Structure 1
């Protein structure tokens, strides 16, 4: 998916004069907003159209990216907005295909840096606010009752406010330039649990709860500088919770159980 509003190269150049874009490519990732990759002779950019009424979130996102960049994190800069289209810097690197020791260590360092930068800071929105948990459960109860029994405990799911979390660190929200990691798509971030953020990230990189080597490596790296130390048993439980949480959302948003099977 990724494209709900079509945009041609001519239309893009008419909207953003002066860039002289030479190509535009539709993305396949994303299930809510429209995302393109556009190129000039020298640079690549992310072009987005938010297919939701989230003006306040977009303004918060701009300020957050600026704060995280100043904190030394490799996140994209917001550049310009016209006619409902937004241009962001495209980070160097590629989405990882597999998962290696270097990926896990870089992921742990990134989350440690992110959580230090946002710990105890004030943010306007809880992460869970935009996640449609109750709507998802209602849909699954009506259409996939066998799976609903696995997820019904999420009715009461809540999380502490440790600071801002990304909450959706799957591989396609990261890029690697050799061992340097970049992270993007903070539009649905909000305050929440650092433990949950780490559980999602390990799940998003395909780490199973039985992979002691990767889990221990992640914890040893993350806990060196993290504002809150994590315990292995808690992290494993949160990985399993994160897997159920995103399986639930995928079934609801895609209206198709097959798209969620990799997390089941």
Structure 2
């Protein structure tokens, strides 16, 4: 759950961050209008530039270290990522408030916009996914990070929801029983995946991809998981599945990596499993702290998981 700092706490944090990273004096500091479900983000303007301050509110220390090292490594591989700033001692983290030790990390602010669903955008993102899946090596430590939406994690969530009794939980558990046997038995190619390739984790400028953000879910898993997840981000318009966008996404992907026959056959299954796994993640959080926005997202994801996808492209 996001913990939003008070105005005075945010300003105090900004001053200490500016001092640690030698960013000059604050001109403006405010929370970003769009926040995710886990981390708090603010825009910082100083005399030296514009930055994003991120407070990690849920990730354990080792997971944060993994993400920051991975971003640095991806940058050396030519991927459009935004490495964190580091201070004179090489540190990327700042912990200004000892009473609330969640770390803050500073990233350069990248100007641009969240993309709209267009064939060219879908094609570009398919190509980006293939670039990630075709990287020549795996960075150190990535093997230790499990997909937070893995079958094992999702089944653990399902077990915790069996006594919940809500209609959403019942729909989720029914789909778990239906889809899990097929997903568990899949032996498809694996490698580095982003894990959360959605429009709000990308920045475009004039239809050109400028940056891919938020690598905290990156791990080793089936490429098809990443592919299906990204298609849910870039192949829908107003909650309607768009075959033309899907065709363009897959065409872009296969400019860099060809799908194996088993992957092509299993794609409809993973297009149902990925929103189901996301729904489970949201259901667990919603069962602890009910939230209207999250309830709407759960309903949306379960509807997608109930869809039978035609992927004869």
CA RMSD of aligned residues (A): 2.8
Q: How many residues align?
A: 263
Secondary structure in structure 1 of the residue aligned to 2:64: helix
TM-score by length of 1: 0.85
Q: What is the aligned counterpart of 1:93 among 92, 104, 112?
A: 112
Tell me, which stretches of 5 or more residues in structure 2 are unaligned?
86-91, 96-102, 304-313
CA distance in 2, matches of 1:237, 1:119: 28
Q: 1:234 deviation in Å?
A: 2.8
CA distance in 2, matches of 1:26, 1:118: 38
Tell me, which stretches of 5 or more residues in structure 1 are unaligned?
none
Q: What is the aligned counterpart of 1:21 among 26, 51, 57?
A: 26
Q: 1:261 deviation in Å?
A: 1.9
**What is the aligned partner in structure 2 of residue 262 from structure 1?**
300
1:3-152 equivalences under 5 Å are 3-6=3-6, 7-17=9-19, 18-19=22-23, 20-27=25-32, 28-41=34-47, 43-52=49-58, 54-79=60-85, 80-83=92-95, 84-96=103-115, 98-117=116-135, 123-129=142-148, 132-143=153-164, 144=166, 145-147=169-171, 148-152=173-177
1:178 to 2:206 alignment? yes
Secondary structure in structure 1 of the residue aligned to 2:147: helix
Would you say the 8 A contact 1:119–1:227 is kept in 2? no
Q: What is the aligned counterpart of 1:218 among 249, 259, 264?
A: 249
CA distance in 2, matches of 1:29, 1:57: 20
Q: 1:179 deviation in Å?
A: 2.1
Q: 1:57 deviation in Å?
A: 1.8
Q: 1:209 deviation in Å?
A: 9.0
1:162 to 2:190 alignment? yes
CA distance in 2, matches of 1:119, 1:220: 24
Secondary structure in structure 1 of the residue aligned to 2:106: strand
CA deviations 1:111-170 (Å, max 9, x no partner) are: 111111266666233442576424421343222342221224566655756211111112
**What is the aligned partner in structure 2 of residue 200 from structure 1?**
229
TM-score by length of 2: 0.73
Would you say the 8 A contact 1:37–1:47 is kept in 2? yes
**What is the aligned partner in structure 1 of residue 311 from structure 2?**
none
Secondary structure in structure 1 of the residue aligned to 2:80: coil
CA deviations 1:27-72 (Å, max 9, x no partner) are: 3322222222222245322212222352222222222111211222
Larger radius of gyration: 2
